[in-house]
Structure 1
């Protein structure tokens, strides 16, 4: 897995169908996402005939979500003005082509389409370079098959599912770690997590941080204008002020997670280096030692002293020769040994 792809965290405000087919409501959601600290705002770009038959019970709901190309273009322009990326769920050729036309930063293939080879091929052949692959409920073989089709794209494999509600214990966040290892052979893959914690849960700010610790570098979280409004897809959504707290919590956790290096000191911070220096005790004599003594492990121990230019590593003085007499319980300094 490429280091430059995983060096930071990305937070997506999942707006889904919360715009309810209303352009002004969609603008408010984009504004809320930008103000609440999200890196990207994502809508579902729904055309009823792409997702359902006319006799399906929610067909008219899907129809009510349809907006004109001009409206979507104006929303893309508005998102750019607010310096927030715009992502879209696409469900067929029509929605994909519009997403290309308005130059969204990424499209998402919903988990319902992870085995839709026709749509996967359409996305693979599109001009859009970043693809979120919804993998909630997907098997490993299905994810790997989709990855082969999308091998020319930067792909975020997005785990997590909406269970209305999703019980905390059913998230199986350890799958993030497993997939991060398993998909490591793909240089174009990032693993992410779509968080569906209920807004009243004590885990509403931290479950995503657990996923981040397991290796997720993209986090998706539902945002609504207000829980009391009960807009579409509000069930697992945070209000804007809560989403801001979520964003701040996640970014703080990411900073705390850091980036350990495979070197002797792990690339530890200056503060930790100062702590290390402070806590290290000094090499002192266990007994009086004569000039010319070859120091053995029995001759020395570790204690705190007020001395400067001290030695803190016991092994570094073993078999060294003293250049002067040392009294019992006295520090041995660098200048005292050959």
Structure 2
């Protein structure tokens, strides 16, 4: 996850004032060892670069094979597995479940999920409806575009600290069986309002165009959340929280808003946008992400302390 994850981990390194320090012979993985590592919802081949005792537990600095070293990061033992035949079968089974195309590097998105054809159809129809409301863009009413070509035109470069936030978010829910306690504060609505105020102070001329983009983000968030932005273990909580036509943007916060930005290239691939307009939109969305990064400690939870998922299966490795 780049230097941010290293720096963040380094800042928290060192043994705590209490607790037993693990012995050197309790280390499970060694420097130079090839392993399998969980990252988001998938398992990747990786190599242990070094191992250290940090905060009274063994931590391993890994490099994901075939990926830029900016993805290198410190991980705990629960994120790793021995590279053996049994675990390779588990990796392939998970890839198949996620619908991963072996010939395409889709990136280490924390949000990639396999969808049934029925879910995909409903999702596409809703996306078209979203884009048609209050927009000055035309929808392609003919053959739906494939995401491949469009994503080459439209990419959102999520800053490294926010990529780490996405990974931690996935880990809290899917491996530690914890949920974001709702309602969040600040909510998505409040964050969007804060950003509009921030931009208005810097450049009042751009306030109107910024406001329109934020309305679009809110609309996409409210529609996409129940379909694309909650994990399986969060669905029960979502069904209980989003009732009586309540807008998700008035309940959820930065954690789920950030997940939207992983999905936006896919969502916008169903909308006809001129290349020049697309470029300006990319810059504005990147500026908003930088605003989230600047306020990361205020907007995001550092730990999920809500009620544990009921009936969960425990660690992601066992799923």
Q: What TM bracket, shorter-length normalisation? A: under 0.3
**Structure (1/2) with the larger helix percentage:** 2
**TM-score between the two structures when normalised by the length of structure 2:** 0.22
**Structure (1/2) with the larger strand percentage:** 1
**TM-score between the two structures when normalised by the length of structure 1:** 0.21
* Larger radius of gyration between Structure 1 and Structure 2: 1
